[in-house]
Structure 1
Amino acid sequence: MALFNNNFRSGWALFYRNALIITFLGLFALATIFPIYFMIISSFGDPVEAGAMSYSIFPSKISFESYKFFFNFNANSYNWLLNSLIVAACITISNVLFATLAGYAFAKMNFKGKNVLFAILLGSMMIPGQVTQVPLYILIVNIFELQNTYEALIMPSIVTVYNIFLVKQFMSSIPKEVIEAAKIEGCSQPKIFYHIILPLSKTVMAVLAILTFMAAWNDFFWPFLVTNTMDMQTIQVGLKNFRFANTTYFAPMMAGATISAVPMFILFFSLQKYFLEGVTVGAVKG
């Protein structure tokens, strides 16, 4: 009887614990999803000024007029999406290429000053990005005179230290014996990298591409600094044009934000297993 009572109490304790965990996770998920839900619901409102909007969680009607207003607002709405696609794609390709090469060099090659150089790179990660924006702006705009160009949007993000670190940590887990065996067979460094390292690094390269594309697509501050005409703005910067001195077209702005979020939704739901792997890929012990 005592054993039954102990098992009964243990069962209820486990039930309450699981219920508490599920409730907490449910509230956290609700708080995370609600802004996205509100953005989508608001985008189906009429394209009126913000003061005339009816803000409600459950809209009384569904209208696509705000989406039409977004694309008919000016001739640059399509340019914003195209610019974001070009910039994000170029930054993603360059980061995958250069970060993979640099990560391989730091992980598997021996050269003078490697540890010092890597320490400097890690130290630069401690500097907030906002601190470097002013000297970077002076370099790009005043010295190179590249304001309002694709080069100005792409060059500062050709490769990031975090991506190099991510690849280096992953490649450090590749056994050295594999590379030594390839060298014995007469493979050169380019052949080792192309035929051995790259096939073994497909996971980290996929994670790198996903995270980099998301960061480049959602970037606002730097494109806002270096573009001064509407035709060169990215979608995130272009959305600010729906806000005027005295009013804001809230529903069309939410429609544009929803459209800009579609590639992220597709990316996440189709490749979410890579996102889960990306949480731990940089924690592989070297």
Structure 2
Amino acid sequence: MSLFNNHLGNPVFRYARNTIIVVLLLLFAIATLFPIFFMIMSSFGDPVEAGAISYSIWPGKFSLDSYKFFFDYSEYSFRWIWNSLFVATIIMISNVVFATMAGYAFSKLQFRGRNVLFAVLLSAMMIPYQVTQVPLYILIVNIFEIQNTYKALIMPSLVTVYNIFLAKQFMSSIPKEILESAKVEGANQLKIFFKIIMPLSKTVMAVMAILTFMEAWNTFFWPFLVTNTMDMQTIQVGLKNFRFANTTYFAPMMAGATISALPMFILFFSLQRYFLEGVTVGAVKG
């Protein structure tokens, strides 16, 4: 054991260990960033090369023609971007509002069946997303009959159990003495919620807003199911229109994917602090 400890304290051993760790991290970073690099580089390719069977990492000619082709090919390109922006924004707002209210109720209000109801909600998180798609599709299409509308795109995601869980866990850490003092001063539940709870919960609300917007913007499967006309498709679904039976407009598709990813890049780099807080906010002990 002492011999092993001596090796650990050896500067050469520490240098070799650190070098291996750095190399592994670099390899992991390259593997993670390569798809993004390939997407951006391919978007500057010539649209004429779109139907090529073999694709190269580096385009033969750099141009912005693929971006122009993306917008000129379909009159719905701007509509796809608008649909994604509108749907993601509404879903983000509704989740922040409803999840914050539910989190406050579960963490600070006493009512019959509170723990049972919260346990049921947590159990719903265990159900795989794909399992709920068939009954949800039947509900939207056959019962509510709102297929191919904004309602169909938005309603299933008005509030998620995960956001309720985040809000509840965060608000459980707010001292009860603050709320009791407000009650003594004559504040009702609405005033306590809007004047005390919401200002103290800005961090978790920002985290929920960011994560929810990203999820709603990037989702493909559900918009693909409930939309059947090009004017109602989101940007993620609209990109499939560049693929045909005999060929694929590869470079314009990558240009559209780059445009689709641009808001996420801006969101991430401008709000990195909230992304990091989002990793640990659900771990706050109540």
What range describes the TM-score normalised by the shorter chain of this pair?
over 0.9
Does the 8 Å contact 2:71/2:77 carry over to 1? yes
Matched, 1:20 2:38: no
Matched, 1:145 2:145: yes
**Deviation, structure 1 residue 51:** 4.2
Q: Structure 1 unaligned runs (5+)?
A: 1-5
| Change beyond 3 A, Cα 1:7–1:32 | closer
**Deviation, structure 1 residue 187:** 1.2
Matched, 1:118 2:129: no
2:213 aligned residue: 213
C-alpha distance in 2 between matches for 1:149 and 1:55: 37
| Change beyond 3 A, Cα 1:170–1:75 | same
Q: How does 1:236-247 map to 2 (within 5 A)?
A: 236-247=236-247
Does the 8 Å contact 2:66/2:251 carry over to 1? yes
Matched, 1:259 2:259: yes
C-alpha distance in 1 between matches for 2:59 and 2:223: 34
**Deviation, structure 1 residue 12:** 1.8
**Deviation, structure 1 residue 55:** 2.6
**Deviation, structure 1 residue 178:** 1.1
C-alpha distance in 2 between matches for 1:256 and 1:55: 17
| Change beyond 3 A, Cα 1:41–1:54 | farther
Q: How does 1:160-239 map to 2 (within 5 A)?
A: 160-239=160-239
C-alpha distance in 1 between matches for 2:137 and 2:9: 65
| Change beyond 3 A, Cα 1:7–1:259 | same
**Deviation, structure 1 residue 54:** 5.9
Q: How does 1:104-115 map to 2 (within 5 A)?
A: 104-115=104-115
C-alpha distance in 2 between matches for 1:211 and 1:229: 28
**Deviation, structure 1 residue 7:** 10
Does the 8 Å contact 1:83/1:232 carry over to 2? yes
Query: Structure 1: which amino acid aligns with 2:37?
Result: Y
2:129 aligned residue: 129
Corresponding residue pairs, total: 281
1:70 aligned residue: 70
C-alpha distance in 1 between matches for 2:203 and 2:94: 17
Q: TM-score, normalised to structure 2's length?
A: 0.95
RMSD: 1.5
2:84 aligned residue: 84
Render the CA deviation track for 1:112-141: whole Å, top value 9, x for unaligned: 000010000000111111111111111111
Does the 8 Å contact 2:224/2:233 carry over to 1? yes
C-alpha distance in 1 between matches for 2:50 and 2:44: 14
C-alpha distance in 2 between matches for 1:95 and 1:53: 44
C-alpha distance in 2 between matches for 1:8 and 1:108: 50
1:3 aligned residue: none
| Change beyond 3 A, Cα 1:8–1:84 | closer
Q: Quick one: percent identity of the two aligned structures? A: 75
Does the 8 Å contact 1:125/1:161 carry over to 2? yes
Q: Structure 2 unaligned runs (5+)?
A: 1-5
Does the 8 Å contact 1:49/1:247 carry over to 2? no
| Change beyond 3 A, Cα 1:193–1:145 | same
1:245 counterpart SS class: coil
| Change beyond 3 A, Cα 1:250–1:8 | closer
C-alpha distance in 2 between matches for 1:12 and 1:171: 49
C-alpha distance in 2 between matches for 1:9 and 1:278: 37
2:48 counterpart SS class: coil
Does the 8 Å contact 2:96/2:205 carry over to 1? yes
Does the 8 Å contact 2:42/2:58 carry over to 1? no
Query: Structure 2: which amino acid aligns with 1:75?
Result: E
1:48 counterpart SS class: helix
Does the 8 Å contact 2:108/2:172 carry over to 1? yes
C-alpha distance in 2 between matches for 1:100 and 1:35: 36
2:3 aligned residue: none
Q: TM-score, normalised to structure 1's length?
A: 0.95
Does the 8 Å contact 2:47/2:250 carry over to 1? yes
**Deviation, structure 1 residue 103:** 0.5
C-alpha distance in 2 between matches for 1:29 and 1:174: 38
